[in-house]
Structure 1
């Protein structure tokens, strides 16, 4: 069985409610009401995971703040009882002293905290209703608690998730300092997905979508670069390579490997929506608009089953789901992220290569533009 046909990681959206209202959040575009996954649904899911040969990583994440779920700590305990590694993504505001101590005692494996600005004024412009100082103090306290209870490498390990855009990209250079300050050991930078027209002006990848540097092709040469200093001698000529007709490899790693590559499929991920629907990826979890090339694309959600009606392993191993994964591995879709010129760009129902719903050629996640924790 190929690695991508083994369920290795499961994102579980336990809620779509949130205590913040971030400027780039997809939830701002929804018509659907917010709500929590029922406790009975989660309990049944954990029983199903317990029957698997090996439990996947369970990641509390999706489109909501996990800690607002009324049974959050019970859900963490149930997930840990399966023997799985358990992670979460959070905005960090509800990680008070009692919550921090409880998560250490439950042996939560990893927390990714979303921080989109190191300067408080930048953070507050993006994370509406947020408090930068509160988040930093919460994670400083978590670090102190971990030191008292089990040393600096005890669980939960902490990482930072940063969504980069024009208004905050200058703060990237401050992230290593912030990571040390709050006790984080992993920094993940992703790009913003514009869900309404004004946000398209914030993207940092206008040229990256079409740059030959990121695409393997028999029509352009491949250039392999070694390690060298990035200084006044190298920054300009190397930077200009990204706008030239050459496919780049750096330290024996090809930059083109991030194109037409779906981590959800290739690495064996799935997503459970709060109502039990099983989606193949986060971008297909909810209906939402995306803006690229000055045009709107309406993405329709896609599910391959519901855990309330059929066990997770049966859904994962169904002919329909296997065929979907095989097709995405081949990635026969039209290059909508680099084109966007025809009427079929407006939805993910059919593309100009005659692929039918769901078409993935317009997905910025599959082009290495967006990363998930």
Structure 2
């Protein structure tokens, strides 16, 4: 593959398996279990992607399943690390036994993300059935101890917290928990897809009366995190106007499913048979972003797929939107004669119609900033 055929990417996200032993009540894997396409990526398929690794800063081994259920995971990490990439994954934490922890330390995995839905067993175990908060915590404590014993900085532990109405109060302890288990990074995400209608009541960004409360609480936690040397990032509890650019960074990343199918993001490549059930946004019918696939890595190189006409046409829409932002901000600067404020920049960014988006993105909550 020639370097000029493939740009520098921030990351390639790879679903090494769609299998999972947990039954999180909000997850498509649980809701659509009768239609789920189960499978794990073969080492051969992974090696097909390997020719593109040198073009990416990060290889993230995470999709719609639990990465440690792929028996070739350690070999995959080793392959990507040898190329010189950073390598990360997100796990439910149940596979972090002493032997696995030793493997991750030896491989120098860069990022170990841990999915959480609470800061106490009662909350987490209820929302993420099949996982055990105390067991996960003990594993993270063991990892922290072994890192200290080896004077190792890797893997960095990132806590990935799903924000729901029913677990929001648990967040107040997340900074203390992060310090306890040796994590310096916390990311709080919204439930932004509803595989069943009843899950809508869990979305904090649809809880109009309490939006300011959620925001003020999160800002307070951000301040506490800074005081304690923890990086704290949260997605907004406010449903914004359509954003000009996708938060999934589709101009500088791609997603590959366990069976080699390439898409722009994880949301357009869910392993189910048939369509996801529709919901409603502001009274209008919505659904999961349509499955849009640009090729299979088992039959084409990633550079060929990336440079295919359909994929280029999709990205072009966002390139135009990106160009429009820069031009609009430049016009404001020329008009007022000084640097525009962040608020003015946000106003410009939000002044983009939903209708100009690709069809598969128009009903996606990610495009609304949550």
Alignment-derived partner of residue 77 in structure 1: 78
1:225-244 alignment runs, 5 A limit? none
1:1-373 alignment runs, 5 A limit? 6-30=8-32, 31-46=35-50, 48-50=51-53, 52=54, 54-151=55-152, 154-192=153-191, 193-206=193-206, 259-265=243-249, 268-286=252-270, 288-289=276-277, 291-293=279-281, 295=285, 297-330=287-320, 353=355, 358-369=359-370
**Are the equivalent residues in 2 in contact too, given 1:289–1:299 (CA < 8 A)?**
no
Q: CA deviation at 1:45?
A: 1.6
Per the normalisation by structure 1, the TM-score is 0.74
Which runs of no fewer than 5 residues in structure 2 stay unpaired?
212-218, 221-238, 323-352
Deviations 1:127-168 (CA, angstroms, capped at 9, x unpaired):
0111110000011100101001124xx110011001101100
Which runs of no fewer than 5 residues in structure 1 stay unpaired?
212-228, 231-254, 333-350
Q: CA deviation at 1:366?
A: 1.8
Per the normalisation by structure 2, the TM-score is 0.74
Q: 1:168 and 1:256, CA in 2 relative to 1: closer, same or farther beyond 3 A?
A: closer
Alignment-derived partner of residue 217 in structure 1: none
Deviations 1:290-315 (CA, angstroms, capped at 9, x unpaired):
53347552543111111111111221
- SS of the residue corresponding to residue 121 of structure 1 reads helix
Cα distance in structure 2, aligned partners of 1:352 and 1:65:
34
Cα distance in structure 1, aligned partners of 2:256 and 2:292:
12
Q: 1:6 and 1:290, CA in 2 relative to 1: closer, same or farther beyond 3 A?
A: farther
Q: 1:139 and 1:17, CA in 2 relative to 1: closer, same or farther beyond 3 A?
A: same
Cα RMSD (Å)? 2.8
- SS of the residue corresponding to residue 263 of structure 1 reads coil
Deviations 1:5-33 (CA, angstroms, capped at 9, x unpaired):
64220110000001211011112343133
Q: How many residues align?
A: 300
- SS of the residue corresponding to residue 81 of structure 2 reads helix
**Are the equivalent residues in 2 in contact too, given 1:29–1:289 (CA < 8 A)?**
no
**Are the equivalent residues in 2 in contact too, given 1:263–1:366 (CA < 8 A)?**
yes
Cα distance in structure 2, aligned partners of 1:354 and 1:115:
36
Deviations 1:31-69 (CA, angstroms, capped at 9, x unpaired):
1331111121112222x225x4x3331001110000011
**Are the equivalent residues in 1 in contact too, given 2:355–2:362 (CA < 8 A)?**
no
Structure with greater helix share of residues: 2
Deviations 1:71-120 (CA, angstroms, capped at 9, x unpaired):
11111111212211000011111011110111010010011100110121
Cα distance in structure 2, aligned partners of 1:301 and 1:171:
35
**Are the equivalent residues in 1 in contact too, given 2:16–2:70 (CA < 8 A)?**
yes
